[in-house]
Structure 1
Amino acid sequence: MADPQLKKGDTVRYVGSLVPAMTGKVGTVDAGHTRNSWVSVAFDGVSGRYARSNLELVARSAGPAPADGARLFNCCAYEAAPDWKQFERLELAGCVDDTSEPGHTIGLQPASKAEFFTIYGRFPEPDGTCEAITDIRDAREALVVAAELALLSRLPVIVHPTLGDC
């Protein structure tokens, strides 16, 4: 059974029926959902999105990931750039940790209340969900990083109106 509180760096085993069992590292966990959540996992260096229900926790992360790639891709598996073709745009939003559900966040927070800022890649409809690319502590630095990621990915960026007070 899948662990509902997977976090970045955890080692997981794929136990779904589509492919043989594999072991890999968690990059990101889709925030805000308890059922049908998606987790970014790198198996043999190839990152993909997997249903949380198909993943079994093998070992907890010993701590934060190394600083390499931390500024632009700290929510991605191995802190490497995602496949930009899978996204239709980038989004920047203020976030707070969800104290009622460890490992999850609540987005669309005003800058004055946000604990950190996340830049997401938005998947096209009909999926329409998003995947966290990086977390930044400072609102102005998040704007700079969002611009860098837009140039790198050649994707448009939406800065959510809730950040208007930064």
Structure 2
Amino acid sequence: MPKFTSSNPDAKFCYINGHYCHAHKTAIVTNALGVVCHVDFYDDNSLNPNTAKSAHESKYQYDTKSLIPVIDNFFSLHPGFSLKYFLGDSDFDASDNYRYLFKEHGIIPIIPLNYRNSKYLPQPDVASDGIPTCPYDPSLKMKYDGITREKGRAARIKWLCPILKRLK
């Protein structure tokens, strides 16, 4: 796919809601009630979706890098506005974002950790019979939980922690 469209060169090639498309990269800042406080047409040409290993990584890179410029623009347009908390999804989980929000603005970030973002994530091993073992206790074999078939993805075998009990 081309990186931009001839009908609108400002629309960039990106990954949104599960598919690639040409769109304006937009960030929306809302208050706790969901009322829109700021709309930012953020455009960073240094982010190339073609360099990411996967579509999700492309989205993650964009979300991670967009927070600081968007909040900077927000505070430059609304200097009297103060925030106590920032609530964002796990795609904003980056140490630069935490540092920026807390140290520079005194905002308490509430962002779920993205454990896939950690280089210290323990890796599971495989028992002699081919069953994966628990990454935290290799003596425990994982429990087979079926096959997942998601639209647009290869079928994958699901394994559960042996300590968990499946409720149906």
Taking structure 1 as the reference length, the TM-score comes to 0.25
Structure having greater relative contact order (Cα 8 Å, sep ≥ 6)? 1
- Could you say which structure has the larger radius of gyration? 2
Point out the structure with the larger helix share: 2
More strand by percentage: 1
TM-score (norm 2): 0.24
